[in-house]
Structure 1
Amino acid sequence: MRILILFISVFSFYSISGQQQSKIDSLESALRQQPDSLKLETYSELVKHLLKTDLKKAKIVLDKKINLANKINDISLIAKAKLEIADYYTLTAEFENAEHEYLEIKELFLKNGDTLLAGNVLKNMVKTLMYQGKYEMGLEAALESLRINEKFEAPRTKLIGNYMTVGNIESVLEKYEKSLEYYRKAEQIAMEEKDTSQLVKVRHNLGENMNWLKRYPEGIPYFKSNIAYYKKMNNKIKLAFTYNSLGTLYYEMDSIGKSKFYIERSLKLTKKMGDLQGMAYNSRNLGRIYMRQNNPNKALELYKIGMKHSIQSKSTAILVADYRNVSNAYAASGDYLNAYEYRLKHQQLSDSLLNVKNTEKLNELEIKYQTEKKEAALALQEEEIKTLNEKAKVDKLNKTLYAGGTIGGIVLSGLLFFGFRQRMKKNKIEREKQEEIYKQEIEFKKKELASQTLHLVQKNSFLTELKENLENLKRSPDKFKMEFKRLVMLLKKESSGDKDWEVFKSYFAEVHDNFDNKLKSVYADISEKEIRLASFLKMNLSTKEIADMLNVLPDSVLKSKYRLKKKLNLDKETDLYGYLSGL
């Protein structure tokens, strides 16, 4: 499994130990006694502890720090305080807020003449842009940070991180050769500076890149070099990780024996360390190998380890894939009753995830609809009150002018009455427009419900047919051979999924106004896989959910989304979800 080292940060939250709580209490006590000039550093120290224990309280402290920095009115202090807030937003996955803060901080540092610090801020901002899928903007920020550090002669060890960042983004954008250029620059500096800790990171990325380029033999030395280093340093966590990466590379080369050797080593280490997540991941990979070797019983044993971890850790999205793996292993071993049971679990959980997402979406839409309805009613009411007031004025003026009998007054009255009629006409048009919006909203909800219903019907038709066959087999043991063949064919049909997709596509096109034809009108050469991805995106499924449904890695879905956006000629500011929802 490919891991984008630079862009993924793992934060672990620990329970408050007595010692840590004591430290927090001590810092809070110090703040009550300190003058403003000393409080900023204490706030920073307090936030470090609170980020592990109480995020809400950490934000309150950060707000106090930024208020104090503004009070002191020192640009450098303000920028540094805002930098901590930006990092907080990144930690809490509020990426748009983080991006906004980073841009402000960059301008503050530039205004203060701290150009190198501005470059570091840009490098930090890259992560938030990547999480939002703004790959090209991320690349621009990374390149600008690199140019600043090169121009102002930042320490060479900092350039390693810059080159790595740019290389990673180029890799995500599938510009692997360009990515290699930056990785090799980073490797060269790390070797010259004898920075071994950075060197092993660069070489791991080089190995992964060779995997994606399918230049497998060139990737092997990088992983083997890192294995030797981690053995020497007795770093078992990294060693297990690298064993797995090398095993995955050999799997892609169809060197199943070598793949099994390294993944088994990785599994042994993760067991020894009690790393449950690592054990589950390695077990799934070994399960794939045993399925390839036509040993479904051993694969089943390993898949169940992964499944057990998903249940314990409540990793629902991964559990969907685990149920599918277990079902496939049972089917391959001829145990169709259990295959049916786990296929049922897989599809029920998959549908449950989809139901939750669609229900939330429809609830949000209903709230929006009711709010807009009330606002529109109030607006119309106000307009009609204004109109009646205007009518009253016209009537009053008519009476006055009638009494005076002046021609000019009659003309003026006529103009005012004409204005009144125009206002009434305008109100009618506005009312009709609002009614049309309501109709569209209701139609949209109907389509969403129809899509979900069709999805469930399609899934359940397979389960019903499989259940009927199992009942027939139970009632008529003498027909075992014939029914057995039918079950095998049915499972193969479900595994292929191509015909099911065609049925789903036709239904989807009906309720979404020939969505595939609209896509083809934008780009005639769009492929079936891209139409399928676009359909799932239009249903507002997440990257992880799409990956589970297509049986691919989330990283592959991210790349496919980027390619689709590029093929549809959308600029980097245009949101792909929003664009497809509008088709």
Structure 2
Amino acid sequence: MAKRLIITLFQFIVFSLEAQNLSKIDSLQNILPNATPPNQVQILLQLNDELLGFDTEKSIKYAQEALLKAQNIQDKVLLASAHTSLANAYLQRSENKDIQEAYKNYTQALNLLEKNSSSEAEKAKAKVLSGLANVYFQWGEYKEASLLNLESLKLREKYQDDYGKARCYNTAGIIYDALGDYKQAVVEYTKALNIYEKLKKMREIAGVLDNLASSLKLQLQTSENASPDFSQIIDYYNRSLKISEDLQDHLAISRTLNNLGILAQSQKDYEKAQKYYEKSLESAVLCKEKQGLANTYANLARLYGEKEQWNDALRFYEKALEIADEAQAKQELFLIFRERSKIYAQKGDFQNAYTDLLASNVLEKQLNDLENLRVINNLTSKYEVEKYKKEIEKLRYEAIISEQENQIFWGFAGFIIFLAAVSAFFYYRQSQLKEKLNQANKAKLS
């Protein structure tokens, strides 16, 4: 559960997903054909940003097009920005070798910005470092992720980029959450919240309030306090919910209501929990978020299971199962089959209990295989990255050697030219002296 929570938090932080502004996208697409090449790149990058998190395939397409156009323009910062946008899109999709491709594009962007200390280049570099921090986070390299995030934060502080600073504080909170240091995570989230409130970034405020509530909840659940006070957590969730309702962000509304339901259920307030879950379902239906629907139906089933109302629990597990199957949410399916098996057993229906247990075992094996594959892919990515690093270092070394050879060649050539010039000068001076002597001798003879 904690791991799933961290992933959710992380995705919010990396990409602050905003409601898709179709009119803005249409406007950008309309002005694209008649724009100058540099402006076309900028417009394509804006389209990439608008679609990020909503239509990843189109986002990647626009970033690739921007990269192709930027390669024909003599502007390294613009080219670096195109690489960064493409990396962001790969990171958002995170399929097959996407993380590796994201890393390569971030690295190429960083190389383009190397030795460029202009404000424009350093601001672009801050974004690249944030992206690389996200890559290392996904690889589980939290120390490296933290160092890169800190380096990005320093650049954002240098240029008084408050919004960028808030994103870095958010990422720091995510990393501390992953490390289990919930107390420090709350400190970092609070810093981010203060900035977002100052900037009046309402969607980001709602997201950070959710993060704060979830982190505080984890902190209390892992503490030795026998009677934890959840009032602050409830306040954070309610504040987040109010903002999301004002923004009509149904996905965020559904998520926060579901979290409030889980919290109420943990306190055995089943009536309140049921109300939250039912409202969460309404919002999940509006935004057509199948995994959220499946999760909320499963939570309702768990609630009835705790109340020992077995038939109602089975009814909601059936709904959860149907939607989770449509969404191909294997983790949710595994949990539903495993938990429903126990409900059948409580009812004395051991045949169905056994059938569900077998299904959950099959899914558990598939999930373990997927996890092993993910680990192998990560290791492969890291291996490919190390190879890529070595290739880059080799190219750099060859470039240094070539530069040194050129310096030696031109130094030697310069020396030869200098000697030739000196020799020519002396030859010229000697010729002049000879001429003068000849003229003097002729004068004496006459």
Query: What TM-score, normalized by structure 2, do the two folds share?
Result: 0.66
Residue type of the alignment partner of 1:90: L
Q: 1:542 to 1:89 in 2, by over 3 A?
A: closer
1:326 is displaced (CA, Å) by: 2.2
1:186 is displaced (CA, Å) by: 2.0
Q: 1:234 to 1:116 in 2, by over 3 A?
A: closer
Q: Is the 8 A contact 2:163 2:196 kept in 1?
A: yes
* Aligned: 1:141 with 2:148: yes
1:162 is displaced (CA, Å) by: 2.0
Aligned match of 2:176: 170
For 1:249 and 1:192, locate their aligned partners in 2 and report how far apart those are by CA, in whole Å.
29
For 2:71 and 2:266, locate their aligned partners in 1 and report how far apart those are by CA, in whole Å.
56
Q: 1:327 to 1:142 in 2, by over 3 A?
A: same
Q: Is the 8 A contact 1:263 1:282 kept in 2?
A: yes
* Aligned: 1:313 with 2:327: yes
For 1:267 and 1:200, locate their aligned partners in 2 and report how far apart those are by CA, in whole Å.
19
Residue type of the alignment partner of 1:174: G
Aligned match of 1:130: 137
Deviations 1:295-323 (A, max 9, x none): 22211111111110122223344323322
Q: 1:196 to 1:288 in 2, by over 3 A?
A: same
Q: 1:208 to 1:102 in 2, by over 3 A?
A: same
* Aligned: 1:331 with 2:345: yes
- Counterparts of 1:433-444 in structure 2 under 5 Å? none
Aligned match of 1:209: 215
Residue type of the alignment partner of 1:128: V
Residue type of the alignment partner of 1:263: Y
Deviations 1:40-64 (A, max 9, x none): 45765787899988959966x8667
Residue type of the alignment partner of 1:166: A
Q: Is the 8 A contact 1:210 1:219 kept in 2?
A: yes
* Aligned: 1:191 with 2:197: yes
Aligned match of 1:561: none
Q: Is the 8 A contact 2:91 2:135 kept in 1?
A: yes
Q: 1:322 to 1:169 in 2, by over 3 A?
A: same
Aligned match of 1:157: 163
Aligned match of 1:392: none
Residue type of the alignment partner of 1:157: Y
For 1:53 and 1:197, locate their aligned partners in 2 and report how far apart those are by CA, in whole Å.
19
Q: 1:311 to 1:129 in 2, by over 3 A?
A: same
Q: Is the 8 A contact 2:56 2:93 kept in 1?
A: no
* Aligned: 1:242 with 2:256: yes
1:335 is displaced (CA, Å) by: 1.3
Residue type of the alignment partner of 1:8: Q
- Counterparts of 1:23-42 in structure 2 under 5 Å? 30=33, 40-41=41-42
Choose 274-283 or 143-152, whichever is displaced more: 274-283
Choose 144-153 or 98-107, whichever is displaced more: 98-107
For 1:271 and 1:100, locate their aligned partners in 2 and report how far apart those are by CA, in whole Å.
39
1:87 is displaced (CA, Å) by: 2.6
Aligned match of 1:491: none
Gaps of 5+ in 2: 18-24, 221-227, 376-381, 384-446
Residue type of the alignment partner of 2:255: F
1:342 is displaced (CA, Å) by: 2.1
Q: 1:231 to 1:89 in 2, by over 3 A?
A: closer
1:231 is displaced (CA, Å) by: 4.1
Deviations 1:491-545 (A, max 9, x none): xxxxxxxxxxxxxxxxxxxxxxxxxxxxxxxxxxxxxxxxxxxxxx8xx3658xx
Residue type of the alignment partner of 1:103: T
Deviations 1:545-576 (A, max 9, x none): xxxxxxxxxxxxxxxxxxxxxxxxxxxx89xx
Q: Is the 8 A contact 2:205 2:240 kept in 1?
A: no
Q: Bigger relative contact order, structure 1 or 2, given CA contacts below 8 A and separation 6+?
A: 2
1:349 is displaced (CA, Å) by: 4.4
Q: Is the 8 A contact 1:284 1:306 kept in 2?
A: yes
Q: 1:37 to 1:253 in 2, by over 3 A?
A: closer
Match of 1:108 among 104, 108, 112: 112
SS of the residue corresponding to residue 213 of structure 1 reads helix
Residue type of the alignment partner of 2:175: I
Residue type of the alignment partner of 1:72: I
SS of the residue corresponding to residue 72 of structure 1 reads coil
Aligned match of 1:345: 359
Q: Is the 8 A contact 2:48 2:58 kept in 1?
A: no
Gaps of 5+ in 1: 13-19, 359-536, 544-572, 575-583
1:351 is displaced (CA, Å) by: 4.6
Count residues with an aligned counterpart.
350
Deviations 1:409-464 (A, max 9, x none): xxxxxxxxxxxxxxxxxxxxxxxxxxxxxxxxxxxxxxxxxxxxxxxxxxxxxxxx
SS of the residue corresponding to residue 210 of structure 1 reads helix
* Aligned: 1:120 with 2:120: no
* Aligned: 1:99 with 2:103: yes
Q: Is the 8 A contact 2:250 2:286 kept in 1?
A: no
Residue type of the alignment partner of 2:73: I
Aligned match of 1:77: 78
Residue type of the alignment partner of 1:163: Y
Aligned match of 1:551: none
C-alpha RMSD over aligned residues: 3.9
Q: 1:168 to 1:327 in 2, by over 3 A?
A: same
